[in-house]
Structure 1
């Protein structure tokens, strides 16, 4: 055989082997990913979306972690946790999760529900007498004085789990000013101090009349403290954080971990630049061990820690051998409890959702590509710095998105959800 012909034959054989190997690998990937939401196409979409957030100066840093059917199917991080110090966003970055504290508080409360400590329709005042005989501000008289009427029913524990207790910062009635003067969540206060002050402020609505997001979850933390007979944060650590191995989650961040804490950035509407929020404003609660341990905000966590919490929920209360809640309790928390509420303010902006126990609950798929994406039965919540998590029982999928951006940016969530679930196909949701 001539040398040239021999080389051509070798080249042909090698090319065939490479092509066969690539085809075999693609087939194996396809078979492995069959039926999964997060296939290689979805992974590429999520990567591109997170990269675009950094390239467009939407956020300074972003990380995302997704599990499906009990396995990690995606993680990546882009940009900076601390731009000024040149610290990249990483898996062990500690972020400020703000209202993503709320579902953890609700879970702590529901562990006591399972012990028979209360029923959801019990009046709050049965356990916290200061909330008996509440007054409701119904208007202003000719001299500008508040008109007060007795509440038409007692606040129930269900009300404080779904934000229908009537606690309000209505500016038209001056309740925002009264609440501000009460300084309810001053870090020098205890939860007992907070409850005593809050109970003296008139409600803005009759209990059950309206969904208004606010201080109810801090009242849940106070109730946990009273029912458990120990400080709220200790009980939460004992029944949730420690059993789940959430060792990076808490109110106080010791000095040795502070170099991993992400900075927070603010983007004004009129500006294309992201400006750092002073650290003393963002981290003051976490770099000192204050008396106040709020139920509605205040925790810092890593993305893996929060995923452990999400995995416990998608597994109906159990994770890695630790049972936190019973399956029926998780189902109760993930059920819409708002069918009779007159007004739910901005909640519909999160999609076709209701509200359960410290979660928004998706009740219908989006009707258009412009609506917030998600699956029916999914439950989720987010944080003021634009963090997000959700639990999708239908696909056994949990997702956590960490960014640190003010003001809250729903567009980031919309784009991330679209990247996870793909082009709008209502029949597949």
Structure 2
């Protein structure tokens, strides 16, 4: 039965690509189909998983951590260890709310893909067809006599570019004079609406030609703007008021899935919000208590900005409902949010082989990239890589949260903690290694040693 499920999932990828007649540049790649041996039932060692997480807080490597796993349609593991707020002595709990940062991105992608299903756009469409703000883009082309040089974009940014981070937008990790312009314009200011963000971003040069590289940046915020622009509007909806993105998010994802704990503002639930901590090089943690700090300010009042790439607060059970919807091919508890072929398209590798410069994405393992997810294309190459099953899709957040969906083993996992910056603790790898401890094809344990790999 599991083999049949994996095969159907791969066939749905093909159907999604063929049905919408996207070009070769955006057509999803066929994922490997698991063999009968690989698709056997994964037996989780939940005691070991719990011990691994408990050790992180007992040793002081983390202040608090929690995790939830579903398999075959039922809960198979929940654990919470340490403190949600060390200073107030509030333990990490099942209903603790956390800042999920970039785990907002897959939710935004789901909103936009509901519009895709309505025929509002095609992946190959130029973004400027719906958003004139991004017409006639310039691209940074280096320096000449010490001065920056800009050239015209070789082709327009497409919708698929903003889905897979190949648009060319500036990122903090890119080294170019565009950074100074970006910081001065501050397109992601909380005081901006999504439309103002798009206007500002569209005036800035790109840092590479569209479609030529993978670079993490504000593409998902542009997705939120596009969804807002297109909702309720005909084609070529230039500068016509659409539907606010926060409303779209509520009506198309959060309400249907009964994700009542998820949103941009914390409201009267602050006593449930985990404290954010700064982790220092010596492994110590200091709490972020200033309400004006970036970790807190966006949550405490209604700002004009409702970003697509970050900003949501959620609970374990809420985000698991989103993950289970994806695992079930777009439906949960009798409510359909997306079609199975749409979920399969989102979870397929959309990066062309010609995109060889992929920034830090290879640090995530043997992966490609779909619509706001990394997609595992091959088993772990060595034991330094995190364990994972071929065909799984996943993403994480700046505060070190993580989720993934594994169709091969009918499994979804959500992992929460709250510290910044990203990394510094082997939490994701150790948790994944514990989950796949008994799956030879997915486990990194026992594989040969390899070179060091770095994530984000």
Using structure 1 for the length normalisation, give the TM-score: 0.89
Establish whether residue 344 from structure 1 lines up as the match of residue 358 from structure 2.
yes
Computing the radius of gyration over CA atoms, which structure comes out larger, 1 or 2? 1
Distance 1:111 1:427, change over 3 A: closer
Distance 1:171 1:425, change over 3 A: closer
Segments of structure 2 that go 5 or more residues without pairing to the other structure are: 1-39, 232-241, 445-456
Q: Is the 8 A contact 1:369 1:424 kept in 2?
A: no
> 2:279 maps to which residue?
267
- Structure 1 moving runs of 4+ over 4 Å: none
Pairing of 1:46-57 with structure 2 (within 5 A): 46-57=49-60
The CA distance in 1 between the partners of 2:307 and 2:330, in whole Å, is 24
> 2:252 maps to which residue?
239
Establish whether residue 417 from structure 1 lines up as the match of residue 432 from structure 2.
yes
Pairing of 1:350-365 with structure 2 (within 5 A): 350-365=364-379
> 2:159 maps to which residue?
157
| Aligned with residue 136 of structure 1, among 135, 139, 161 | 139
Establish whether residue 102 from structure 1 lines up as the match of residue 115 from structure 2.
no
> 2:451 maps to which residue?
none
Task: Please list the CA deviations of residues 185-212 of structure 1 after superposition, one character each: whole Å capped at 9, or x if unmatched.
Answer: 1111100110001001100000000000
Residue 241 of structure 1 and its aligned partner are, at CA, apart by: 0.2
| Aligned with residue 218 of structure 1, among 221, 244, 247 | 221
Q: Is the 8 A contact 1:333 1:356 kept in 2?
A: yes
Pairing of 1:251-290 with structure 2 (within 5 A): 251-255=264-268, 257-269=269-281, 271-280=282-291, 281=293, 282-290=295-303
> 2:84 maps to which residue?
81
Deviates more, 1:376-385 or 1:408-417: 408-417
> 2:317 maps to which residue?
304
Residue 171 of structure 1 and its aligned partner are, at CA, apart by: 5.3
Distance 1:168 1:49, change over 3 A: same
Residue 425 of structure 1 and its aligned partner are, at CA, apart by: 2.8
Pairing of 1:27-46 with structure 2 (within 5 A): 36-39=41-44, 42-46=45-49
Paired residue secondary structure (2:408) = coil
The CA distance in 2 between the partners of 1:210 and 1:386, in whole Å, is 25
The CA distance in 1 between the partners of 2:414 and 2:53, in whole Å, is 13
Residue 130 of structure 1 and its aligned partner are, at CA, apart by: 1.3
Q: Is the 8 A contact 1:79 1:89 kept in 2?
A: yes
Distance 1:347 1:238, change over 3 A: same
> 2:168 maps to which residue?
166
Task: Please list the CA deviations of residues 319-377 of structure 1 after superposition, one character each: whole Å capped at 9, or x if unmatched.
Answer: 01111100000000000011331211111111100000000000000121111210000
The CA distance in 1 between the partners of 2:299 and 2:77, in whole Å, is 29
| Aligned with residue 412 of structure 2, among 398, 403, 419 | 398
The CA distance in 2 between the partners of 1:218 and 1:390, in whole Å, is 22
Pairing of 1:111-150 with structure 2 (within 5 A): 111-142=114-145, 144-150=146-152
Segments of structure 1 that go 5 or more residues without pairing to the other structure are: 1-34
Count of aligned pairs between the two proteins: 390
> 2:22 maps to which residue?
none
Q: Is the 8 A contact 2:66 2:416 kept in 1?
A: yes
The CA distance in 2 between the partners of 1:73 and 1:132, in whole Å, is 50
Root-mean-square deviation (CA), in Å?
A: 1.4
Q: If each structure's helix is expressed as a fraction of its own residues, which one has the higher value?
A: 1
